[in-house]
Amino acid sequence: MSDAYAHPNYVKIWYWLLGLLALSVVGPMLEIPTLTIITAFGIAIVKSYLVAAYFMHLKFEKKLIWFLLILSICLLGVFFFGTAPDLMMTDGDQWIDCIADKSCVEQRL
Amino acid sequence: MIEYFVQSASSYAGDIDNLFLLITLIIGFWFILTFGILVYLIIRFRRKDGVKAKYIAGEKHSETKWTHYPHYAVIAMDVVIIAVNILVWVNIKQTLPPRDNLVRVIGQQWSWSFIHAGPDGELDTKDDVSTTNDLHLKLGETYHFELQSRDVLHNFAVPAFRLRQDAVPGRTISGWFKPTKTGTFDLQCAEMCGYGHGIMGAAVTVHSAESYDTTMAQIQNGTYESHYQKRMGTKTDLPSNTSQVDDEVSFAVLLASIF
Amino acid sequence: MSMHGPIATHRSATGVPTGRLAVWWLLASEIFIFGGLVTCFVLFKLNGTPGFEDASLTSVAAGAINTFVLLTSSLSIVLAHAAIEKGDRVKSFRYIWYTIGGGVIFLGIKTYEYTGKIIHGHVITENLFWSFYYTMTGLHALHVIGGMVIMALISFDIRKGHNYQRVELIGIYWHFVDLVWIFLFPLLYIANF
Amino acid sequence: MSQAAAAVQSDTHAEHHEELSFLHKYILPVDHKIIAMQYIFTGMIMAIIGGYFAYAFRMQLAFPGELVPLYGLVGPGEYNMLVTNHGTIMIFWVAMPVLIAGFGNYLIPLMIGCDDMVFPRLNRLSYQIFLVSALVLIASFFVRGGGFGGAWTAYPPLSSVAEYSLTDWGASLWVLAVALEFVSFLLGGINFITTTMNARAPGMKMMDIPIAVWFIVIAVILFMASVGPLIAGAVMLFMDQRLGTSFFLPSGGGDPLLWQHLFWFFGHPEVYVVLLPTMGIVADIITVFSRKKLFGYRTVLYTAFATGGLSFVVWAHHQFIAGIDPRMANVFVVTTVLISIPLAEMMFSYIATLYGGSIELKTPMLWALSFLAAFLIGGVTGIYLGASAVDVYFHDSYFVIAHFHYTFFPITIIGMFAALTFWFPKMFGRMMNETLGKIHFWGTFIPFNCIFLPLFFLGLAGQHRRIYNYNHFPDLATQELQNIRIFATVSLVVMLIFQLVFIYNFFVSMFKGEKAPNNPWNANTLEWSVPSPPPHGNFKTLPTVYRGAYEYSVPGRELDYWPQNEPSEEN
């Protein structure tokens, strides 16, 4: 069951990953919020691409697998955008803890 | 069709009933058509000796049109339903008309508290009137409600108003209704809320202006007799046990009660 | 490779070997499990839920070292795979155990972090951020432990000389665990805006 | 793979291994057929428990406060526990194991022409996890405080705080059982998908796969793609219960609506997860008994894809009035009503299949046709609930109950009987008794309608769900409505009694029935080309496939069927 593809130079990919890791740690130290988001998550995406494409051999894998993974992430996006309008509207300030509030405990059967 | 079972006592009850009727007509048509064809085909094409079934792949246009054309008609009717539905929905849930009065509804395990805004029309002022399990409303006024829950999810449901809204702990949900008929109606909790969910009811009484004022005065001077208690008192021994249910309920009566 | 198991296992109508296809499906479902948690976390964070500013209390250094450890262990498991494809059992065995060693270091640092946080009173019930912190890293750590156990089993298997393809499969899984960490790291450690 | 399994299975397929001990054949099997039986029998036992629960709470509704024969007194807490676990059991422990895991296991390897699932031992493991989950659920009924009573949707905070639900461990065990069950089906699902993708018989192209297999696989993919967030949610809920976190508690910054989204993001595709296998099974049955090629194989398949895809964007229609943003509701109305389009097309194709056929009303065909008729009612009444404005009135009313029982009952019970009666000869090598089968059919189908049609009218009357005694609601405590309730309950009892006919028929036919030939229904698919019951390893020589699954009544052929593995004559 040996697949005929040449192994990429894994150590080189690893150097790239370490470099990106260093960048993502250094980026936030500049304390620019936008830059933090870009370095933190942009680099996470680049890193994950490198790992997926080379270490996981996705680059040499059938398109089917790409389709599968991208579809999963798209569905998560659907979930995010369907849920976001509701969770972003929380008030939270009208809350009374019923267990602490004796008057409504007495109402119980 | 819904009015036959439940009175319609709010301004938008009619809209919902009409939408229900529209959908009934549309899907009734489809249901009878499809069901009729299904039954017809089963009877028409029962196995007969020597008759071989046709070979139809259902891939050519001349064949698929028999499923595609009805299918386009389904799409057209879907669009009608969606359009009418959104009109009604925007009216009853999405927009709040200017209010005449305000009431806060608080659900908790397992009772309802109502805070009526009083003459000044504002909550959290001195003239607020609080009641438990008794909601009093003035005929023809547009009410806004602030719905809250103290513990778990509840649902503020008044079938006669065609009104249902979940009460979610941690948030205040606003909505509106406008009673158009006097009388006393059931208020239910229509969301599972634990052990006592089955008894979590209340009474909604819609008053004329004078009767409303007398009731409010009674509540404030302590001479008020709960409408909810009164209603429950007269109903406690309804078909609560089998002895009360007529033993000779005939099949015909049962059927008649359905239709 | 010796043929055992049903014939079905050795068919490959898609062109992807069955084991690898199954691992990809497993990972697709894992994406939803971790993705669900991450989505909830992001929703609460964007909503400005109180407590999420505690992200600044997590130790970036510890997180960065852990990222480094996991990236390196990913390298060693992929090298183990490359070695076994050349038939070098001994080298592959050694690389697999380097990877397990990486997992041990990772868990060690994790334990150190947890201890420090709990001593400072940041327990799981303190607020929503810490609930998510412990849930997400805990679930991730469970995956690390599971991966290490399976890897150990496989390492003895290949030393005996069978099931070589499993090195690749556990490798893909391990990289996925690494990938999850790559996203948890900025979420829980860096992005304290 | 262990040495033992390797030794057992490495030899060629011509020789079979009859020497397997009882323990390895029936208790710890790797054979997909035995595992399928395990799923089906476990599912049927759970169905009996679920039916018993339904009996108990329906009796309470019809005769409130009376002792229920064979059960006892149903109090409010117990009533909640009964409805909650009735729902949970019927969906997660009956529909899923019987339709997907049971028939999926049985049919997939046989229908695609291979000797077993690709991972037989993973298959066994997923059944074992499933069994544990069932035991955990049953155990939850007996802990202090009783079983969980917060509805099968388990909305927090009721489900997450013991002080609210009053079922401390009942709720936790419930969540645990559901989570275990999900894990079991995830593992099983991976097995199903890879088997179908990779292990098809040579010559079997994508469009030659029987619809039943296609639909089971699509269902499993839907399940795998939707269940992940809910597994995460179950972990969060469990931590809320046991560790006191507040993912879903507003007091700690959490949000109860988050669970609703997580739940329904899974819960709605779940409807199609159980629907599609039955749809597939029905497609196979109606083609066999009308001797017709399936009308528009590709169309049917694409409508299933469309339904599956759309099912991911409709979930919030369960929450129209749950406090979600009203503007979002409009989006979900559009998607929800649109889902009627592929389903209508699928339905039309099934009905068109009957046209020009030679319909033989054997018991499986009766079940399949009654599925179409009953599901039609379930489908069209869904339009009411998908329209948000009408849902304002019907949410959590008996209309909803009637609607989803008109979908789930046909899917689960009718689909199960259709499949069981159809494949019974293959499974046990004996024919079922037709007369008893028909008595059972009419004795189930007529009372089924008598139970659930009246509930539509109760819903119209504004009767809300999960209430143990309607006397507390004066508008609902009228004699007329009570008569309807009694009528539904009596119908239920009649239906349950008729199930005894099935149980008798099932077990007597299993041992004493007429011996079944290989292909009693003259069907095309590969499972009918092997002996009944199929031996371990299924096929003597693994088949090659030459044509699609539905080549019935091909012009110019003497026989009106043409098995998939029969080489064409012209070569």
How is B152-204 classified by DSSP, letter by letter? Answer: S-EEEEEGGGTEEEEE-TT--EEEEE-B-S-EEEEEEE-S--SGGGGG-EEEE
Taking the CA of residue D261 and the nearest CA in chain A, the distance in Å comes to: 6
If you ran DSSP here, which 8-state letter would residue C49 be given?
-
Within 13 Å of residue C172, how many CA atoms lie on the same side as its CB? 22
- pLDDT of res. D408: 94
Contact (CB<8Å) A87/C193: no
CA distance A96 to D463: 30
The complex's ipTM?
0.88
Residue of B29, B166, B234 to mutate when probing chain D, most D C-beta within 10 A: B166
The number of domains in chain A is 1
The number of domains in chain C is 1
To the nearest whole percent, how much of chain D has pLDDT over 90? 75
Q: What value does the mean pLDDT take over residues B138-153?
A: 90
Question: The tokens of D343 are what?
Answer: 């389903």
Please report the residues numbered 70 through 89 in chain A whose beta carbons come closer than 8 angstroms to any beta carbon of chain C.
72-73, 75-76, 79-80, 83-84, 87-88
If you ran DSSP here, which 8-state letter would residue D10 be given?
S
For residue A85, CA distances in Å to B166, D304, D323 come to 17, 30, 11
pLDDT above 90 (res C52): no
Chains D and C touch (3+ CB pairs under 8 A): yes
To the nearest whole percent, how much of chain B has pLDDT over 90? 42
H-helix or E-strand spanning residue B148: strand B143-149
Neighbours of chain A (3+ CB pairs under 8 A): B, C, D
In tens, the pLDDT along C54-96 reads 888 888 899 999 999 999 999 999 999 999 988 888 999 999 9
CATH of domain D36-529: 1.20.210.10
Chain D touched by C153 (CB under 8 Å) = no
Backbone angles phi, psi at B39, to 5 degrees: -65, -40
pLDDT above 80 (res C155): yes
Chains C and B touch (3+ CB pairs under 8 A): no
Would you place residue B45 in the very low, low, confident or very high pLDDT band (cuts 50, 70, 90)?
very high
Of the listed ranges B132-146, C13-27, C55-69, D9-23, the one predicted with least confidence: D9-23
- pLDDT of res. D295: 92
Residue A64 lies in a domain: yes
**Among D356, D365, D302, D346, which residue's Cα sits nearest to residue D523?**
D365
Would you place residue D19 in the very low, low, confident or very high pLDDT band (cuts 50, 70, 90)?
low
For residue D5, CA distances in Å to B174, C153, D121, D261, D523 come to 64, 17, 9, 44, 34
In a 10 Å sphere around its CB, with 0-12 CB exposed, 13-18 middle and 19+ buried, how is residue D46 labelled? buried
Would you place residue B59 in the very low, low, confident or very high pLDDT band (cuts 50, 70, 90)?
confident
Residue C140 lies in a domain: yes
The chain C residue lying nearest D191, using CA atoms, is C22
- Taking 3-state DSSP, the helix, strand and coil percentages for chain A, each rounded to the nearest 5, stand at 70, 0, 30
Chain D touched by C26 (CB under 8 Å) = yes
Cβ neighbours of A96 in B, within 8 Å: 150
Of C16, C32, C42, the CB nearest to A64: C16
Chain D touched by C35 (CB under 8 Å) = yes
Please report the residues numbered 195 through 234 in chain B whose beta carbons come closer than 8 angstroms to any beta carbon of chain A.
195-196, 199
Q: What value does the mean pLDDT take over residues D467-478?
A: 89
Question: The tokens of D164 are what?
Answer: 């609210």
Give the structural domain span for C48. 12-190
- pLDDT of res. D322: 87
In tens, the pLDDT along A58-95 reads 888 888 888 888 999 999 999 998 888 777 654 433 33
Cβ neighbours of A89 in B, within 8 Å: 171
What is the reported pTM?
0.91
Of the listed ranges B90-104, D179-193, D411-425, the one predicted with least confidence: B90-104
If you ran DSSP here, which 8-state letter would residue D92 be given?
I
Q: Which are the contacts of D98, defined by CB distance < 8 A and separation ≥ 6? A: D39, D40, D43, D44, D47, D412, D416
Q: Which are the contacts of A100, defined by CB distance < 8 A and separation ≥ 6? A: none
Chains A and D touch (3+ CB pairs under 8 A): yes
- Which is more confident, B115 or B118? B115
Residue A109 lies in a domain: no
CA distance C25 to D223: 12
Residue C60 lies in a domain: yes
pLDDT above 90 (res C175): yes
pLDDT above 70 (res C2): no
Average pLDDT, chain D: 90
Contact (CB<8Å) D261/A82: yes
- pLDDT of res. C137: 95
Spans of all domains in chain B: 13-94, 101-236
CB B149 within 8 A of CB D303: no
For residue D253, CA distances in Å to A94, B58, C48, D88, D259 come to 12, 56, 10, 29, 14
Which single residue is written with the structure tokens 């108990």? Answer: D56
Helices (H), D63-119: 76-88, 103-112
Chain D touched by B76 (CB under 8 Å) = no
Chains D and B touch (3+ CB pairs under 8 A): yes
Taking the CA of residue D448 and the nearest CA in chain B, the distance in Å comes to: 15
Taking the CA of residue A109 and the nearest CA in chain C, the distance in Å comes to: 30
Residue of D255, D258, D469 to mutate when probing chain A, most A C-beta within 10 A: D255
SS (H, E, C) D149-161: CCCCCCCCCCCCC
CA dihedral over D311, D313, D317, D319, signed as positive or negative: positive
CA distance C109 to C62: 7
Contact (CB<8Å) A55/C191: no
pLDDT above 60 (res A105): no
- Packing angle between helix D363-386 and helix D415-428, nearest 10 degrees? 150
Of B111, B148, B170, the CB nearest to A107: B111
- Other beta carbons less than 10 A from residue A86's beta carbon: 23
Q: Please, what is the Cα angle at D198 between D195 and D204, to 5 degrees?
A: 100
Chain D touched by A100 (CB under 8 Å) = no
| CA D224 to chain centroid | 16
Please report the residues numbered 115 through 134 in chain B whose beta carbons come closer than 8 angstroms to any beta carbon of chain D.
none
Chain D touched by B93 (CB under 8 Å) = yes
CB C84 within 8 A of CB C44: no
In tens, the pLDDT along B167-181 reads 988 888 888 999 999
- pLDDT of res. D266: 94
CB C28 within 8 A of CB A74: no
Question: The tokens of D385 are what?
Answer: 């609930």
Taking the CA of residue C103 and the nearest CA in chain D, the distance in Å comes to: 23
CA distance D200 to D393: 50
CB D269 within 8 A of CB D222: yes
CB D386 within 8 A of CB D331: no
Pick the CATH number of B101-236 from 2.60.40.420, 1.10.10.10, 2.60.120.10, 3.40.50.150: 2.60.40.420
CA distance C89 to C84: 6
**CATH code, domain carrying C142:** 1.20.120.80
In tens, the pLDDT along A17-65 reads 999 988 888 877 777 777 777 778 888 899 999 988 888 888 888 888 8
- pLDDT of res. A99: 35
Residue C29 lies in a domain: yes
CA distance D549 to D209: 7
Taking the CA of residue A67 and the nearest CA in chain B, the distance in Å comes to: 28
Chain D touched by A11 (CB under 8 Å) = no
Residue A74 lies in a domain: yes
Taking the CA of residue D139 and the nearest CA in chain A, the distance in Å comes to: 27
Residue C42 lies in a domain: yes
- Other beta carbons less than 10 A from residue D13's beta carbon: 17
Give the structural domain span for A78. 10-87
Q: Quickly count helices (H) and strands (E) in chain D.
A: 19, 0
In a 10 Å sphere around its CB, with 0-12 CB exposed, 13-18 middle and 19+ buried, how is residue D566 labelled? middle
Q: Would you call B137 helix, strand, or coil by DSSP? A: strand
CB D165 within 8 A of CB D157: no
The chain C residue lying nearest D249, using CA atoms, is C128
- pLDDT of res. A89: 55
H-helix or E-strand spanning residue B129: strand B129-132
